Structure 1
Amino acid sequence: MKVVHSPLHARHDGGKELHRGELVPCFEMPVRADYILKAVQRAGFEVTEPRPFAEDSLLRVHDAGFVDFLRTAHTEWRALGKDGFMLPGAFPARGMRRDHIPAGINGKLGYYAFDSGTPIVEGTWDAALAAARCALTAASWVAEGNKSAYALCRPPGHHAGHSMYGGYCFLNNAALATQYLRDHGFARVAVLDVDYHHGNGTQDIFWERSDVLFVSIHGNPDTEYPYFLGYADERGAGAGEGYTLNLPLPHGTTWDTYSTALDAAMDTIGRFTPDAFVVSLGVDTYEGDPISHFKLAAGHFPLMGRRLAELKVPTVFVQEGGYAVEDIGTNVAGVLEGFLRG
């Protein structure tokens, strides 16, 4: 399995997030990718830098105004005489207008963001664009005949919607990979999100489509981020009705319960008979993760990989979360090696 990764991820660094009422250093930090890179190299995977996809390729899943905002946000911030990291301070909540984008950068931050946990720094755009290119490169390899590929993306992407960012995510890497596969001969693509947190952005992008099946196994949004999406009664709309499946699980979920949900997810995906498969690979389901509450042990990630391999279709893995940084590489490599042995 080929691996694609960009050192430009390190340019997204130095911000803080508002986490449960406290301003703290970001849990999503550059060392996450460094640990994964070392682990996949130890495991013998070939690592390549991404292809130079044009920025216009982002518009296959994202709003043009939103992409332009991400590209220019920190420049606008500096033009006000400010520096450092940016966080929004106001949002268009119930009773406020959502049909008008403010002209000033502070208003635009709140318009496009949905949380105060996703800082923008000077290098954020470079890192986010590089991550998107990693996902597109992995998808292109599969479209060219490789059976599988892994995009070591940072920042992650599954919380980013058509025209919103949050949850450490700016561009939706998994959605970009999925759309690339659709555009290059794969008529039906299934997306499985195994991150601890619901992939609300991916669900948003494919909500009304029947050519993409979105399935997510995650912590119950009654108590877990992103709180306002990811419930079991969300099934899609219009042409996409019935093509979204959410499997929320409670605090303390162990492998026995998780593997049952994984079987249900894979059974649903199998009935969809996809031509290709995209996995949003978050390993924050690990028992040692500092901001998540499942109890999967390191030995369970190879088992997950083997179960994913049973679908036997071309597969793209896209890196999402995982914040137990010293163990993240072992757990990611475990999934990939299990998949290859499956």
Structure 2
Amino acid sequence: MLTIYSDDHHLHHGRCELIDGQLMPCFEMPSRADHILQRVQAQALGPVEPPKDHGREPLRRVHSDDYLAFFEGAWARWQAMGDDGDLLPFTWPARTLRAVKPRGLHGELGYYSFDGGAPITAGTWQAAYSAAQVALTAQAAVQAGADSAFALCRPPGHHAASDLMGGYCYLNNAAIAAQAFIDQGRAKVAILDVDYHHGNGTQSIFYDRADVLFTSIHGDPADEFPFFLGYADETGEGAGEGFNLNLPLPHGSDWARWSQALEHACQAIAEYGAEVLVVSLGVDTFKQDPISQFKLDSPDYLTMGARIAALGLPTLFVMEGGYAVEEIGINAVNVLEGYQTARKEAA
């Protein structure tokens, strides 16, 4: 399996995030991708190649021009103000406030953010831009006929909406890749999000569309981040009605329970008639993940990959979350190896 990877992810290393009333060291750190790359190489999964630059236009197909301009220019504006710490919002347009875009940097940052977990640093724009190019390069390989490819993206993307950053995410790599498939002639694309946290950004991007089916297995938002999206009654609207499937699960869910939800999602994808599959590959479902509450074990990820392979679809894996750093490489690559082994056996 081809892996696409860029060292540019090291340019983004937030100093802190707001958790439990304290500014804490970021769980989303460069070592996450480093461990995965090491495991890919140790297991001889396949070639590792750098991304090609597909330009800004594929990003504009998913994200608004205003948002992209703000994100790209935020650090320079911060420096011009004489500051060099992480740029984090402290005010958001909550329910009783108006959603108007202010002129100042801090106001705009709140307008374009939904939480305090996406710090902007000197290298964040370039790291996120390169991550999107990683996804697009892997997508191009699948579009050209590869059975599968792995986009080792960092920072992750599935919490980023068309004009919102948050949850460690700035550009929605999986959505950008899914849109590229559509733009290149695919009529039906399915997204399977297996991250512990609901892919609220991906859902919002495709919620009113029938050409992209979004399915997600995640912690119940009544108790778990992102709290305000991811409920089972969110099924799409307008042309998208019936093309959004949320499968929230309670704290402590193990493989027996989680795999039932996976089966439900896979059946929905098969019934949809998808031509290609994008997997938002989060492995923070692991039993020792520090910020998640599911109980999957490392061998379960091999089985997960095999079940995804049984769909028989060209598949693009896009890296999302997973914060048990010592195990993230094992678990992510287990999914890919489980997929690859099952596809070879079926051939």
Q: TM-score, normalised by structure 1?
A: 0.99
Residue 95 of structure 1, CA deviation: 2.2
Q: Indicate the residue corresponding to 1:74 in structure 2.
A: 75
SS for the counterpart of 1:81 is coil
In the TM superposition, 1:34-113 aligns within 5 A as: 34-44=34-44, 45-98=46-99, 100-113=100-113
| Separation in structure 1 between the aligned mates of residue 22 and residue 244 of structure 2, nearest angstrom | 34
Which stretches in structure 1 are left out of the alignment for 5+ residues? none
Residue 143 of structure 1, CA deviation: 0.8
The letter for the 2-side match of 1:273 is G
Residue 27 of structure 1, CA deviation: 0.2
Q: Provide closer, same or farther for how the CA distance between residues 14 and 233 of structure 1 changes in structure 2, counting only shifts above 3 A.
A: closer
| Separation in structure 2 between the aligned mates of residue 322 and residue 95 of structure 1, nearest angstrom | 34
Q: String of CA shifts for 1:247-303, please: whole Å, max 9, x gaps.
A: 000000000000111001100110001000000000000001000000000010000
Give structure 1 regions of 4+ aligned residues with deviation exceeding 2 angstroms: none
SS for the counterpart of 2:298 is coil
| Separation in structure 2 between the aligned mates of residue 328 and residue 74 of structure 1, nearest angstrom | 30
| Separation in structure 2 between the aligned mates of residue 30 and residue 201 of structure 1, nearest angstrom | 22
SS for the counterpart of 1:299 is helix
| Separation in structure 2 between the aligned mates of residue 263 and residue 117 of structure 1, nearest angstrom | 32
Q: Indicate the residue corresponding to 1:147 in structure 2.
A: 147
The letter for the 1-side match of 2:93 is P
Between 1:11-20 and 1:267-276, the stretch displaced more is 11-20
In the TM superposition, 1:255-270 aligns within 5 A as: 255-270=255-270
In the TM superposition, 1:260-299 aligns within 5 A as: 260-299=260-299
| Separation in structure 2 between the aligned mates of residue 97 and residue 281 of structure 1, nearest angstrom | 35
| Separation in structure 1 between the aligned mates of residue 185 and residue 117 of structure 2, nearest angstrom | 37
Contact 2:278 2:316 in 1 (8 A): yes
Contact 2:14 2:120 in 1 (8 A): no
Contact 1:174 1:278 in 2 (8 A): yes
Structure 2 residue 194 is the aligned partner of structure 1 residue 190:
no
Contact 1:117 1:167 in 2 (8 A): yes
Residue 15 of structure 1, CA deviation: 2.3
In the TM superposition, 1:300-315 aligns within 5 A as: 300-315=300-315
In the TM superposition, 1:109-258 aligns within 5 A as: 109-258=109-258
Residue 43 of structure 1, CA deviation: 1.4
The letter for the 1-side match of 2:83 is K
Q: String of CA shifts for 1:84-130, please: whole Å, max 9, x gaps.
A: 201101001112121x3111100011000000111110100010000
The letter for the 2-side match of 1:70 is F
Contact 1:281 1:318 in 2 (8 A): yes
Which stretches in structure 2 are left out of the alignment for 5+ residues? 343-347
Residue 56 of structure 1, CA deviation: 2.3
| Separation in structure 1 between the aligned mates of residue 228 and residue 20 of structure 2, nearest angstrom | 16
SS for the counterpart of 2:317 is strand
The letter for the 2-side match of 1:81 is G
SS for the counterpart of 1:126 is helix
Q: Percent identity?
A: 54
The CA RMSD measured in Å over matched residues stands at 0.7
| Separation in structure 2 between the aligned mates of residue 230 and residue 20 of structure 1, nearest angstrom | 22
The letter for the 2-side match of 1:289 is D
| Separation in structure 2 between the aligned mates of residue 339 and residue 9 of structure 1, nearest angstrom | 26
SS for the counterpart of 2:63 is coil
Residue 183 of structure 1, CA deviation: 1.0
| Separation in structure 1 between the aligned mates of residue 328 and residue 318 of structure 2, nearest angstrom | 14
Between 1:249-258 and 1:87-96, the stretch displaced more is 87-96
Between 1:14-23 and 1:301-310, the stretch displaced more is 14-23
SS for the counterpart of 2:321 is coil
Residue 14 of structure 1, CA deviation: 3.6
SS for the counterpart of 1:171 is coil
Q: Provide closer, same or farther for how the CA distance between residues 14 and 165 of structure 1 changes in structure 2, counting only shifts above 3 A.
A: closer
SS for the counterpart of 1:157 is coil
Q: String of CA shifts for 1:221-258, please: whole Å, max 9, x gaps.
A: 01110000000000000000000000000000000000
Contact 2:52 2:133 in 1 (8 A): yes
